[in-house]
Amino acid sequence: MKIANWGNYPMVEGNITSLEFEDEIRHYAAQQHSFTIRGNGRSYGDSSLDTHIFSTLKFNKILSFDTEKGIICCQSGVLLSEILALIVPRGFFLPVTPGTKFITVGGAIGADVHGKNHHKDGCFSAHLIDFELLNANNEIIKCSKTENADLFWLTCGGMGLTGIILSATFGLKKIATAYIRQESIKARNLDEIMDLFEDSQDWTYTMAWLDCLQKGKSLGRSVMMRGEHAEIEEISEQKKARPLALDIKPKLAIPFYFPNFALNTFSVKSFNFLYYHKQFTKQSNQIIPYEPFFYPLDAIYHWNRMYGKNGFTQYQFVLPKESSKEGLEHILRRISKSGQGSFLVVLKLFGKANLLSPLSFPIEGYTLALDFKIQKGIFELLDELDKIVLDLGGRLYLAKDARMKANFFLQTYQLDKQNINKHFSRSKFDSLQAKRLLD
Ligand SMILES: Cc1cc2nc3c(=O)[nH]c(=O)nc-3n(C[C@H](O)[C@H](O)[C@H](O)COP(=O)(O)OP(=O)(O)OC[C@H]3O[C@@H](n4cnc5c(N)ncnc54)[C@H](O)[C@@H]3O)c2cc1C
């Protein structure tokens, strides 16, 4: 069958096996020569793709939930959306969540995902207590920060190359309501938005939507969203009756792939104009449900079809703080000139790196994520951007990548190919991405 991840690029021929029970999984892994591990395929590129794919989606039971300590244990195929449905009504929230709740716990560990609170709370691995890993010798190894710690850190961000994470235990954060106190603030250009990030470091959640087609004095025009979990006193009397109730709206769906002409410079410019001006005042303060704050795109099923059948790729880079301004200016100017930008451009400020996990993406500095439709000239443009990222000491996020070159990857992650391959078990657990970057 044809299979792709969220970017619909690349699309490959592969077969998927999904199993419900641990002994079946062990049997499969023992028999299979080489395969890739897949959660919900919400990475954008080729990281959970190959000819033989093992999907964890049927291995999805919650094993325990300690409501005293706020600790949950589940099988790796459980989706974050399923965890939220269980924990929010009981006054808990995920310690770290990406911009979609439709990922598995295995995928959250495999990519060591980050959220809008990285500057305060780090990556998913920071909250992980332990997990069980099925390794290439078909043994189940318990890993934590004190037990098999090397394997623990290699697996966090290890993109499925150390083995199958079977189950995991992690800590949750306590919340009083299912609402967020959000401030959204317009910034006229890059200087303003970077100042806002610096001034907002005490806020738990910060991110900005950025208009990548602006030029000159408006280069980097954006809207910052910063938020905190709302306390009971902050929500309306009506909401106080059920402060932890989930307010999930019916979803819209994009029923078919948009034709190729639908997304062009004109439509992106129009969207960006409307988005920036929909808020009349410089600042707007609101109490909103957590769903639109954390997962605005989840409200539209299959929004990835907007980019047409050829798919798209997301370019997410991070630059060290000291070179972030120079790099962002340079890259935004280059993108604006190309006219190739997308409307879903997100800027965040990362805190300290997780230095124990060699493939964990965040380093301290600014990260920008942009979607690009797969079309003529796009890979040449991204190769050019790579040069800027490399020169300035940055790197790209593996979970979004489908095209970076092996040398660029090894240089930017400061890895030695032989050495890193020794730590992985690629004769058993491999992927198209690993073949592209590590062969
Ligand atoms: C709309 C959208 C917004 C996003 N926003 C963010 C964001 O803000 N921050 C962020 O960090 N990411 C973000 N992502 C990326 C996403 O969180 C990661 O790619 C995540 O890894 C996807 O999880 P998955 O379950 O779909 O796994 P997959 O995409 O199927 O797999 C991802 C990787 O994890 C490995 N893996 C999966 N399960 C296991 C397992 N059980 N054992 C071992 N390895 C495993 C796979 O081999 C693969 O290398 C976003 C993605 C989308 C579509």
Q: What is the pLDDT of residue 299?
A: 84
Q: What is the pLDDT of residue 396?
A: 98
User: What distance, in Å, lies between the first and last C-alpha atoms of the chain?
Assistant: 25
Given a cut of 80, whether residue 275 has pLDDT beyond it is no
State the amino acid at position 52 in one-letter form. H
Q: What is the pLDDT of residue 255?
A: 66
- Could you identify the atom of ligand 1 that is nearest to the CA of residue 433? 49
Q: How far is the CA of 47 from the centre of ligand 1 (A)?
A: 9
Angstrom distance (rounded) from CA 424 to CA 256:
39
Task: Name which residue leads in pLDDT, 269 or 169.
Answer: 169
Asked if residue 113 has its Cβ within 6 Å of ligand 1, the reply is yes
State pLDDT tens for residues 93-122.
999 999 999 999 999 999 999 999 999 999
Directed axis angle between helix 321-338 and helix 378-391, to 10°? 160
In a domain, 29, yes or no: no
Q: How far is the CA of 199 from the centre of ligand 1 (A)?
A: 30
- Could you identify the atom of ligand 1 that is nearest to the CA of residue 113? 11
- Could you identify the atom of ligand 1 that is nearest to the CA of residue 124? 11
| Residue nearest atom 47 in ligand 1 by C-alpha distance | 160
In a domain, 341, yes or no: yes
- Here the CATH number for the domain that contains residue 277 is 3.30.70.2520
Q: What is the mean pLDDT of residues 201-222?
A: 94
Asked if residue 14 has its Cβ within 6 Å of ligand 1, the reply is no
Least confident among 55-64, 267-276, 341-350: 267-276
User: pLDDT class for 303, splitting at 50, 70, 90?
Assistant: confident
Q: How far is the CA of 158 from the centre of ligand 1 (A)?
A: 11
In a domain, 285, yes or no: yes
Asked if residue 76 has its Cβ within 6 Å of ligand 1, the reply is yes
Short-list 106, 104, 5, CA closest to 313: 5
User: Average pLDDT, whole number, for the chain?
Assistant: 94
Q: Report yes or no: 118 and 201 within 8 Å, Cβ to Cβ.
A: no
Q: How far is the CA of 104 from the centre of ligand 1 (A)?
A: 7
Asked if residue 157 has its Cβ within 6 Å of ligand 1, the reply is no
| Residue nearest atom 37 in ligand 1 by C-alpha distance | 107
Q: How far is the CA of 43 from the centre of ligand 1 (A)?
A: 5
Q: What is the pLDDT of residue 147?
A: 98
Cis amide prior to 362 (ω within 30 degrees): no
In a domain, 193, yes or no: yes
Q: What is the mean pLDDT of residues 143-167?
A: 98
Q: What is the pLDDT of residue 273?
A: 74
Task: Name which residue leads in pLDDT, 218 or 276.
Answer: 218
Asked if residue 160 has its Cβ within 6 Å of ligand 1, the reply is yes
State pLDDT tens for residues 35-86.
999 999 999 999 999 999 999 999 999 999 999 999 999 999 999 999 999 9
Tell me the whole-structure pTM to 2 decimals: 0.96
In a domain, 253, yes or no: yes
In a domain, 264, yes or no: yes
Q: What is the pLDDT of residue 300?
A: 84
Asked if residue 104 has its Cβ within 6 Å of ligand 1, the reply is yes
Where do we find the tokens 């792709």? Answer: 4
In a domain, 169, yes or no: no
User: pLDDT class for 340, splitting at 50, 70, 90?
Assistant: confident
Q: What is the pLDDT of residue 251?
A: 67
Given a cut of 70, whether residue 250 has pLDDT beyond it is no
Given a cut of 80, whether residue 253 has pLDDT beyond it is no
In a domain, 433, yes or no: no
Residues of the domain holding 190: 179-403
Total of domains in the chain: 1
Angstrom distance (rounded) from CA 118 to CA 211:
22
